Amino acid sequence: MLASLLPVRWGVVADFARGGQLAHLYIASRRGLVSWLGVRHIRAAAAGVAAGLALSVVGFPASAEDEAYTVAAYPVDAVASDAVTAKQKALAEGRQAAFRSLLKRLVPVTAYDRLDRVKHVKADELLEGVSVRDERTSATQYIASLDFSFRPEPIRDLLRSEGVPFVDEQAPAVTLIPVFLPAAAGQGAVPAELSAARGSRMWREVWAGLDLEHALTPVKLGDTKPELTAEVIQKLVKGDGSVLSVFSKAYGSSLVMLAVAQPDLAAKRLNVTLTGRDAVGAFVLKRSYRLNLDDPLYTGELAAVIALGILEGRWKALKFDGGTASAGFGGALMPVQMIVEFRNLRQWQQMQQRISMLPGLEGMQVDGLSARGADVTVMYPGGPEALAQALTAQGFDVRQYGSTLQVSPSL
């Protein structure tokens, strides 16, 4: 009905909801609407809200440590018999969904099962204020971009009382430079949106559209500098630590990263590399995403969403376990059973290599292999929970069932 007015790529939201793979996501658009979605629980039960509710900036967190309790630019959309009812419905559903999303921002992925203990809590009991960024209405539909600010202390008390671990301390901000590399020569005609100029603009805009300020890992976007030559970029992508000092000096910070995106037109993939140093440490992470050549922006948004989620996952793993997120978790070696899910043999080989290279992991043994999964046994310091944290920090989707881990790609 209001498709022409929609300020966000709602198809991205819908596809994530159907896929149900990621626990939480920022969904961003170059049109300026951003959301943090609890994808596994996308719809909230409607709660009452006064018809004449006036939305304004009210009581937002004043201290830096409370920044993570704001869920900014959250999209709401509802249809009803009239505009007033549609707005009431959108606000009620939106605040509950934003609250669920906040909890998933704060709670380590390995403790998501404990969120059932607080699913009965109504968001309006913990809401500090709401601000409107943008809103559109018709006779029967209400669409808006809202900032929800929640009360930190009552939420902390709630989680502590229910035994739900959480991390609300933001990491030191990292400077991130989005770099778009054109497709390699010899792959045929390049779509206009993936040209060097337009691709670079798209890749930067999807990052700028994220709520970088309130993330657990705040990000400041940087510009490409002369020191960041093609040679330096390639060395960073390959994990050559010898150029980290050059990279850091150019940007005046030890916490600086590249997010490099390059389309592979022949394979219809967007290859993305995160490389540099965040608050956890130096790392290189490579991911590949299906690329719709008719809509590359969709893939760009998805890649940026997951990249930011990986940075947050690394930070939560570090804080939750006291400082060993990426290099093992200490303690005696313990056996861990894993069910590794994959789509094809190539993906299995890639996952097997990444898992086997985890610091501290020993004795990786494949006990069974099928077309879509593998039964794997490993030894890891600290056992299954420690390994789950390490795998999550590397961008895997991990579920824990007792002493067994189910490991799959994020998408």
Q: Where are the domains of the chain?
A: 3-161, 174-321, 333-408
* pLDDT score for 45: 29
DSSP letters for 359-408: TT-EEEEEEEE-SSEEEEEEEEETHHHHHHHHHHHTT-EEEEETTEEEEE
* pLDDT score for 305: 86
Tokens of 205: 């805009």
Q: If the chain, 411 residues long, is cut into consecutive pieces of 10 residues, what is the mean pLDDT of each piece?
A: 34 33 35 32 29 38 75 92 96 95 88 89 94 94 95 95 92 96 86 92 94 93 93 89 87 93 93 91 87 91 90 86 40 83 90 82 85 91 84 86 87 59
Which residue has tokens 């609250």?
A: 99
* pLDDT score for 176: 97
Q: Are 136 and 5 spatial neighbours (Cβ–Cβ below 8 Å)?
A: yes
Identify the CATH class of 333-408.
alpha beta
Identify the CATH class of 174-321.
alpha beta
Q: Is the pTM for the entire model greater than 0.85?
A: no
Query: Is it true that 174-321 and 333-408 share their CATH fold?
Result: no
Task: Report how far residue 289's alpha carbon sits from residue 203's, in angstroms, rounded to the nearest whole number.
Answer: 14
